[in-house]
């Protein structure tokens, strides 16, 4: 007589817990439809994912430290405005990695960001989406910059425009700093020249007063000729003249009223003290050099670019081969798990039925 137990004929003996490869193979063959169904479902899900998710393209570029002849901002060169390549490149790299600079670029480039044009720039106000790989600390040798976007052309355009924007802003800021430095130096030299001239004028007034006083004394003492020079007679070759003392060691009135009047007259008519001021011409030359300095920001390049920024032709993700392979492996593994679960419950039910028949 046939009973309900014949509806399920397990390929194993009841009560045997040993794992057999033959039993496992028979289970998989029996449940192959389940395994294939799960595999097909996972493959379809993977294909659907590849269809729905847009591809992501990555534009990249490498920036190197600049050459010394590309960071000269003035012509002719001036010791006040000498820049070091390592310092310039390090400062530029720190700026280009700044989130604040990225936000400023987004706000000033709405044509590249549709959300900004629609008045919704918040999605671009987070941390910069650029990827950086900086080599070295001080000096910085180079930096790799990457930008990802769903549109290949836009990814290259944004990276290209961002580097251009940062270069223009860095050059503008550096030029502004140089102008301020030049202006401060010019003001300092001009103030120094003015102070020297003022001091020279006061010294000239003091000298005039001293000469006036010496002239009054010479006139009171009836000293007309220079008493500091004495003639010792004439010889065949001319007059022998001896100097009794220098002007620094005797009173000025002894030079005589004639010499004092002539010197006082010449000193009073002097129009400028500049020829008599020590180091004045040197300072005027320095001021003139500063006035002639011309900034040339168009030639200033704070970095050297290793190659052009090309439009990527192959997306970096989603990785189709990897996703399909993962779907196949996951489908097979999930199918096997489901088969073993089904077989487990089938065996439990079978053993319950056997136990029930034995108790009758």
247-256 residue pLDDT tens: 444 578 888 8
CB count in 10 Å sphere of residue 4: 8
Q: Last residue of some domain: 261, 288, 315?
A: 288
Tell me the C-alpha to C-alpha distance, in Å, between residue 59 and each of 106, 131, 160.
Answer: 18, 10, 9
- 304 lies in the same domain as 265: no
Considering the domain architecture, whether residues 52 and 171 belong to the same structural domain is answered as yes
For position 347, which CATH number holds?
A: 3.30.1890.10
- Top pLDDT among 143 and 29 is at 143
Within 10 angstroms of residue 214's Cβ, the number of other Cβ atoms is: 22
Q: Is the pTM value of this prediction over 0.75? A: no
Band (17; pLDDT cuts 50, 70, 90)? low
Same-domain pairing of 223 and 140:
no
Read off the pLDDT of residues 228-274 as tens digits, 9 standing for 90 and up: 765 444 444 444 444 444 444 457 888 888 888 898 888 888 888 88
| Same-domain pairing of 150 and 107 | yes
Say if residue 197 is in the same domain as residue 334: no
- Minimum mean pLDDT among 4-8, 37-41, 52-56, 107-111: which range? 4-8
Q: What is the mean pLDDT of residues 134-141?
A: 72
Average model confidence (pLDDT) across the chain: 80
Domain span at residue 260 reads 193-288
Number of separate domains in the chain: 2
Model confidence over 159-189: pLDDT tens digits?
Answer: 999 999 999 999 999 889 888 988 999 999 9
For residue 331, give the nearest of 35, 31, 39, 34 by alpha carbon.
39
Q: 252 with 321, same domain? A: no
- Alpha carbons 302 and 298: distance in angstroms, whole number: 11
| pLDDT confidence of residue 80 | 64
Nearest to 116 by CA among 128, 103, 129: 103
| pLDDT given at position 139 | 75
Question: Sign of the CA dihedral 319, 320, 321, 323?
Answer: positive
d(CA 188, CA 182): 10
Q: pLDDT tens for residues 299-322? A: 889 999 998 999 998 998 888 889
Does residue 310 share a domain with residue 178?
yes
213 and 66 housed in the same domain: no
Which residue in 103, 65, 106, 69 sits closest to 87, CA to CA? 65
């Amino acid at each position: 007589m046939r009973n309900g137990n014949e509806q399920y004929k397990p390929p194993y003996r009841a009560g045997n817990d040993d794992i057999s490869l033959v039993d496992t193979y028979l289970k998989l063959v029996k449940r192959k439809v389940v395994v294939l169904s799960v595999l097909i479902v996972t493959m379809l899900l993977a294909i659907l994912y590849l269809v729905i998710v847009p591809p992501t393209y990555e534009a990249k570029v490498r920036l190197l430290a600049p050459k010394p002849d590309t960071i000269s901002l003035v012509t002719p060169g001036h010791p006040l405005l000498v820049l070091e390549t390592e310092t310039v490149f390090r400062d530029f790299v720190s700026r280009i990695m700044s989130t604040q600079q990225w936000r400023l670029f987004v706000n000033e480039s709405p044509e590249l960001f549709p959300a900004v044009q629609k008045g919704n720039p918040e999605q671009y106000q987070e941390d910069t989406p650029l990827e950086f790989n900086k080599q070295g600390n001080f000096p910085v040798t180079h930096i790799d910059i990457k930008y990802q976007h769903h549109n290949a052309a836009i990814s290259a355009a944004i990276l290209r425009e961002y580097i251009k924007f940062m270069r223009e802003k860095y050059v503008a800021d550096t030029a502004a700093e140089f102008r301020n430095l030049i202006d401060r130096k010019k003001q300092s030299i001009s103030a120094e020249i003015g102070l020297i001239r003022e001091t020279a004028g006061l010294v000239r007034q003091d000298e005039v007063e001293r000469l006036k006083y010496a002239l009054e004394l010479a006139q009171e003492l009836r000293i007309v000729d220079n008493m500091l020079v004495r003639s010792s007679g004439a010889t065949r070759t001319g007059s022998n003249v001896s100097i009794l003392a220098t002007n620094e060691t005797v009173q000025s009135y002894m030079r005589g009223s004639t010499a004092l009047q002539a010197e006082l007259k010449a000193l009073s008519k002097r129009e400028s003290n500049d020829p008599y001021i020590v180091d004045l011409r040197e300072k005027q030359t320095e001021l003139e050099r500063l006035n002639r300095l011309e900034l040339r920001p168009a030639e200033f390049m704070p970095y050297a670019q290793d190659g052009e920024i090309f439009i990527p032709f192959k997306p970096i993700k989603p990785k189709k081969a990897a996703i399909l392979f993962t779907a196949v492996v996951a489908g097979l593994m999930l199918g096997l798990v489901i088969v073993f679960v089904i077989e487990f419950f089938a065996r439990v039910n079978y053993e319950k039925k056997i136990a029930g028949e034995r108790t009758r």
